[in-house]
Amino acid sequence: MTTDTAPARKSVSGLGLTTGRGAPSDGEGANKPIVDLDPATYDRALACVHCGLCLPACPTYTQNGLEADSPRGRIYLMKGLADGKIEPTESVVEHLDLCLDCRACETACPSGVVYHELIEATREQLAGKRKRSLVDRFVEWVFYHVFPFPKRLKWAMWPARMIQKVGLWPTVVRSPLLRRALPEQINKMRDMLPPKGPMRVKNLREHYPAYKEGCVDGKPRATVALLTGCVGSVLFQHVNRQSVRLLQLAGCDVVVPRSQVCCGAIHHHGGRHKDAAGFARSNVDAFLDVTHREPDYIVNNIAGCGAMLKEYGHLLADDADHGPRAERLSERSRDIMQLLVELDLPRPKHRMERKVTYHDACHLAHAQKVVDAPRRLLQSIDGLELVPLRESDMCCGAAGTYNLAQPEMARDLAERKIKHIQSTGCRTCVTGNVGCAMQIQSEADRLGVELHVTHPVSLLYEAYFGDDPPPR
């Protein structure tokens, strides 16, 4: 065996974590890394043993086969950034931006790497360092300043609802001229908007009492506080109303705190942790109000919000005032499917002769590990056939606001999803997240595929209450 000191032999480089740029060297002194992760998060990067078992779980790697677009590769890049061994060049940032934060890799990882904390912390550090076009800035402004505020969103919706009302919406959607004139992200937003909805979305009441038939010894089984969601409460308020009635039937007193705000997920995923923490504090105050009896459960019907609520404990861990309550809020958070299974609803009355398939929202399946509950509830419906969907837990490309930020990859993933849905022969796809619903529906419409995407709550509602309108 030879050694590196043998003079007759040339030593070849290409070793260690160096790329020749930003690498700490004795002469220049170590560069301060651009990304400075806290030790706990950095530790989680180290827990990756580079086995590669996450690769097939990752939607972007599945699409393009690039190691840098796999979880293992991204962890390697993030570790390189944190070690100051590489710089956040355009291509490095692109690979990190292309991550959906769907957390499928966490389900696949045998070593328990908490990937999302790592990518979110890195994104927080990189925020502000990337170049953005005017359109990007506008879209970002909409993300952070309109979406999370139901009142603003309602106003923003008004012109679109007007056009829909007078019947011009199909023209607006189809107009090739408009499509060419507008930036892609704006087109995408318009395409995702459900083609009809009320001009004025009414708020829910603050309290709905439990139905007698669900109570035990005349007493409600639980007090449940409902998070209505910001986009959800404007575009999918009917799902909230249906949820309320299902919960009433299950014997729950339902409260809808007026002071609740956006869960903060949009900001959190965008690396704006301070803003997210602000929303979290407001919600802790709204849901676990120190002057009132605390609810037994905090329920939501939107996978992304649910995952965020379950993060509050971690997000506000250092907050002496809100921390303990945030922890409790996280512990008591339930997706509605989860809670309905826990409360053991009686079998639904109405038969439904329908063939449906179920798409796992990432933030239900991977972030909250809710996989069986929705399937069990759907299978409890007489006559309903649940057809398994291939790659059911692979991201549809919605991923919060990802489909607006990365339209190409989002479209590719949606097409993959729709292809699998088509091969089930079902015309109805059920999914527990508004983002997924809008993504799959709008892409199916674009492709001319006949498909109706609906929330499991809506199907259950029909199975329990038939054509009865949900409560005001």
Partner 1 sequence: MASAHPAIAELATVVGPDNILADPDELLVYECDGFPIAKGQPTAVVFPTTTEQVSQVIRTLVKHDLQIVPRGSGTGLAGGAVVYDGGVLVTTSRMTQIEKIDLPNRYAVVQAGVRNFALTEALAGSGYHYSPDPSSQRASTIGGNCSTNAGGINTLKHGVTTNHILGLEFVLPDGTIMHTRAGGVCDGVGPDLPALLCGSEGTFALITRIWCRIVPQPAHFRTFYAVYDSTFDACKTVTDVIAAGILPTSMEMMDGGMIEAVEAAFHFGFPTTAQALLLLEIDGIDQVLDQQMKEIVAIAESNHAKDIMSCSDPKKRAELWQARKKAFGAVGRISHSYCTQDACVPRSKLPEVMAEVGKLGDKFGLRITNVFHAGDGNIHPIMLFDEDDPQQVQNVLRLSEEVLEYCIEVGGTITGEHGVGVEKLHLMDKMFNPQTLDTFDRIKRAFDPKRRINDAKLIPSDKLHVELLTPVTNQPGGAVVTQV
Chain residues that interact with partner 1, rule: CB under 8 A: 1-4, 6, 9-12, 14-21, 24, 43, 46-47, 49-57, 64-68, 72-73, 76-77, 80, 86-87, 89, 91-92, 95, 108-113, 390
Residue linked to tokens 């409890």: 380
Least separation in angstroms between CB 18 and partner 1: 8
Least separation in angstroms between CB 10 and partner 1: 5
Least separation in angstroms between CB 93 and partner 1: 10
Q: What are the DSSP E strand ranges found in 109-240?
A: 207-208, 222-226
Least separation in angstroms between CB 48 and partner 1: 8
User: How many CB atoms lie under 10 A from the CB of residue 346?
Assistant: 11
Q: Which is nearer to partner 1, 78 or 246 (CB)?
A: 78
State how far the alpha carbon of 403 is from the alpha carbons of 98, 130, 297, in Å. 11, 19, 31
Least separation in angstroms between CB 50 and partner 1: 5
Length of the chain measured in residues = 472
Q: Tell me the one-letter amino acid at 83.
A: D
Q: Which is nearer to partner 1, 26 or 450 (CB)?
A: 26
Q: Which is nearer to partner 1, 92 or 234 (CB)?
A: 92
Q: Which is nearer to partner 1, 50 or 196 (CB)?
A: 50
Closest CA to 232 of 224, 222, 223, 244: 244
Q: Which is nearer to partner 1, 249 or 421 (CB)?
A: 421
Compute the distance between CA of residue 305 and CA of residue 398 in angstroms, rounded to an integer: 14
Using alpha carbons only, give the angle 399, 403, 408 rounded to the nearest 5 degrees: 125
Q: Is 116:101 a contact under the CB 8 Å cutoff?
A: yes
Tokens representing 201 are 């979305």
Tokens representing 304 are 């992304």
Q: Which is nearer to partner 1, 191 or 391 (CB)?
A: 391
Compute the distance between CA of residue 419 and CA of residue 314 in angstroms, rounded to an integer: 38
Least separation in angstroms between CB 105 and partner 1: 11
